[in-house]
Amino acid sequence: MDEKLLQHILTNLLSNAVKYSPQGGTINFELFCNPNEVIFRIQDHGLGIPSHEQTNLFNPFERGSNVGQISGTGLGLAIVKNCVDLHGGTILVESEVGVGTTFTITFPSPSQIVENSNQSQ
């Protein structure tokens, strides 16, 4: 994995979790590793994202209609999605307004990437 891209992914998602959560709210960060994949899960208990807006969430300049005066460009999640795609991973979002949001990023484990590239040669 590219360390700088991974840092950008995690920094953006954690920053968003803090930004869209109430003052003093709890943010959960989990890391799961197994032989086939690496999974990062970031969960907040903040605003949440309206369900009808979740399908466009990773498009440039898309922002939730319920963010109010919270600043942002709407580019962060589009860039995160691009970085995840470059690593051959997936990103999923689960969210409910007033309850919070969970982003789950799954990457093939580094050993799987090496194994797959050796098989394709």
Task: Answer yes or no: are the C-beta atoms of 63 and 72 closer than 8 Å.
Answer: yes
pLDDT tens digit sequence for 13-35: 999 999 989 888 899 999 999 99
Q: What is the average pLDDT across 54-58?
A: 89
How many other C-beta atoms lie within 10 A of the C-beta of residue 110? 10
For 15, left (φ over 0), alpha (ψ -120 to 50), or beta? alpha
Sheet of 37-44: strand order equals 27-33, 37-44, 100-108, 90-96
Write down the domain spans for the chain.
3-119
Identity of the amino acid at 119: Q
Per-residue pLDDT, 77: 92
pLDDT at 57 over 80: yes
Per-residue pLDDT, 106: 97
**CA-based R_g, the chain, Å:** 15
CA 75 → CA 57, 69, 114, distances in Å? Answer: 10, 17, 31
What's the topology of domain 3-119?
Heat Shock Protein 90 (3.30.565)
Per-residue pLDDT, 119: 54
